[in-house]
Amino acid sequence: PRVELAWAMKAHQHAQVYFNLISSVEPKFLKLTQVDERIYEEFRRTFRNLRVDVLDPEELKSEAAK
């Protein structure tokens, strides 16, 4: 149990550091991988009209969305 607790505490510390790093950069400048642009282009090609600023669960469950 102590090893698991120590691992969880260390994982939490790492998560906080990474969260602080990605939170300190304006999203339009944030690049997480070398293929971010390709991923986004494919996402937009597949989900042309999906608004990502506000997701409505009911809209996602609609027949048109399915």
Residues 46-66: tens digit of each pLDDT: 988 888 888 888 888 888 777
Residue pLDDT, tens place only, 4-51: 999 999 999 999 999 998 899 888 888 888 999 999 999 999 988 888
Does this model's pTM top 0.85? My answer is no
Please tell me the predicted confidence (pLDDT) of residue 3. 93
**Which pLDDT score is estimated for 6?**
95
**Listed residue (22, 49, 24) closest to 36, CA to CA:** 22
Backbone conformation region of residue 33, classed left if phi is above 0, alpha if psi is from -120 to 50, else beta = beta
